[in-house]
A and B are shown apart, each in its own frame.
Chain A
Amino acid sequence: METAPVIACCWLPGFALRIVAHGAGVDLAGPVALASEAAAHPVVLDCTEAARAHGVAPGMLVSHAMGCCSALEVLGCDVPRVEQAAERFVVRLEAMGAAVQLVEPGRVYFDAAPLELLYGGLVGVFERVLGAFRGGDVRLGAGPNPFVSWVGARHAAPGGWLRVEPGEARRMLARMPIDLLPAGPDLVQLLRALGLATLGDIAALEAHHVADRFGAEGLVLRNLARGDDPTPLEPRVPIEPVSDALAFPEPVANEQTLESGVELLAQRLVQHPRCVLHAPRSVVLTCVLATGGSWQARRALRTPTLDVQKHVLAIRPSLADLPGPVERMEFAFEQFALREARQRTLLDAGGSLLTGDGGDEGATGGGLGDERVRRGMRHVLETVGEEALLQVLEVEPWSRVPERHAVLVPRRVGAEDASTDAEVDSAAVARGDVGRGVWR
Chain B
Amino acid sequence: MSSAVRRINEPVPAQVWLGDDGRPTQVTWRGRPERVECVLDTWYVDDAWWAERPVRRIYHEVQLDSGVRLVLSWDLVAKRWLAQR
Residues of A within 8 A of B (CB): 281-282, 300-303, 335, 337-338, 386-387, 390, 392, 400-403, 405-410, 422, 424, 429-432, 434-437, 439
Are B51 and A432 in contact, CB atoms less than 8 angstroms apart?
Answer: yes
Residue of A nearest to B2 (CB): A439
Residue A407 contacts which of B3, B8, B67, B85 (CB distance < 8 angstroms)? Answer: B8
Q: Residues of A contacting B10 with CB < 8 Å?
A: 403
Residue A408 contacts which of B1, B8, B61 (CB distance < 8 angstroms)? Answer: B8
Smallest beta-carbon distance A303→chain B, Å: 8
Residue B63 contacts which of A335, A405, A409, A422 (CB distance < 8 angstroms)? Answer: A335
Q: Residues of B contacting A432 with CB < 8 Å?
A: 48, 51-53
Q: Mark B21-62, 1 if CB is under 8 A from A, else 0.
A: 000000000000000001011010101100111010101010
Are B11 and A403 in contact, CB atoms less than 8 angstroms apart?
Answer: yes
Q: What are 5 inter-chain pairs, A to B, with CB distance below 8 A?
A: A300-B40, A302-B61, A430-B47, A431-B51, A437-B2
Residues of B within 8 A of A (CB): 1-11, 38, 40-41, 43, 45, 47-48, 51-53, 55, 57, 59, 61, 63, 67, 69, 71, 84-85
Residue from B38, B40, B61, B63 having most chain A Cβ neighbours under 10 A: B40
Q: Residues of A contacting B61 with CB < 8 Å?
A: 302
Are B6 and A435 in contact, CB atoms less than 8 angstroms apart?
Answer: yes
Smallest beta-carbon distance B14→chain A, Å: 14
Q: Complex: how many Å from CA A282 to CA B40?
A: 8
Smallest beta-carbon distance B83→chain A, Å: 10
Q: Residues of B contacting A338 with CB < 8 Å?
A: 67
Q: Residues of B contacting A429 with CB < 8 Å?
A: 7
Are B9 and A302 in contact, CB atoms less than 8 angstroms apart?
Answer: no
Q: Residues of B contacting A406 with CB < 8 Å?
A: 8-9
Residue A403 contacts which of B2, B40, B84 (CB distance < 8 angstroms)? Answer: B84
Are B51 and A403 in contact, CB atoms less than 8 angstroms apart?
Answer: no
Q: Complex: how many Å from CA A400 to CA B84?
A: 13
Are B5 and A435 in contact, CB atoms less than 8 angstroms apart?
Answer: yes
Residue from A402, A410, A435 having most chain B Cβ neighbours under 10 A: A402
Residue from B9, B43, B57 having most chain A Cβ neighbours under 10 A: B9
Are A402 and B63 in contact, CB atoms less than 8 angstroms apart?
Answer: no
Are A400 and B5 in contact, CB atoms less than 8 angstroms apart?
Answer: no
Known: A338-B67, A409-B2, A432-B51. A402 touches B45 (CB 8 A): no
Q: Residues of A contacting B11 with CB < 8 Å?
A: 402-403
Are B40 and A407 in contact, CB atoms less than 8 angstroms apart?
Answer: no
Q: Complex: how many Å from CA A337 to CA B48?
A: 34
Smallest beta-carbon distance A96→chain B, Å: 29
Q: Residues of A contacting B84 with CB < 8 Å?
A: 402-403
Q: Complex: how many Å from CA A338 to CA B61?
A: 17
Residue of A nearest to B3 (CB): A437
Are A281 and B6 in contact, CB atoms less than 8 angstroms apart?
Answer: no
Q: Complex: how many Å from CA A410 to CA B3?
A: 10
Q: Complex: how many Å from CA A405 to CA B10?
A: 11
Q: Residues of B contacting A439 with CB < 8 Å?
A: 2, 5
Q: Complex: how many Å from CA A387 to CA B3?
A: 9
Known: A400-B59, A437-B2. A405 touches B9 (CB 8 A): yes
Smallest beta-carbon distance A328→chain B, Å: 28
Are A387 and B63 in contact, CB atoms less than 8 angstroms apart?
Answer: no
Residue of A nearest to B43 (CB): A400
Residue A424 contacts which of B1, B3, B5, B45 (CB distance < 8 angstroms)? Answer: B5
Q: Complex: how many Å from CA A190 to CA B71?
A: 47
Q: Residues of A contacting B8 with CB < 8 Å?
A: 392, 403, 406-408
Q: Complex: how many Å from CA A365 to CA B72?
A: 37
Known: A300-B41, A400-B45, A402-B84. A434 touches B7 (CB 8 A): yes
Are B7 and A281 in contact, CB atoms less than 8 angstroms apart?
Answer: no
Are A410 and B4 in contact, CB atoms less than 8 angstroms apart?
Answer: yes
Q: Residues of A contacting B69 with CB < 8 Å?
A: 303, 337
Are A407 and B41 in contact, CB atoms less than 8 angstroms apart?
Answer: no
Q: Complex: how many Å from CA A167 to CA B85?
A: 55
Q: Residues of A contacting B57 with CB < 8 Å?
A: 401
Are A403 and B9 in contact, CB atoms less than 8 angstroms apart?
Answer: yes
Q: Top 5 closest A-B pairs, CB basis?
A: A408-B6, A300-B40, A432-B53, A437-B3, A387-B4
Are B47 and A401 in contact, CB atoms less than 8 angstroms apart?
Answer: yes
Q: Residues of A contacting B47 with CB < 8 Å?
A: 401, 430
Q: Residues of B contacting A302 with CB < 8 Å?
A: 40-41, 61
Are A430 and B51 in contact, CB atoms less than 8 angstroms apart?
Answer: yes
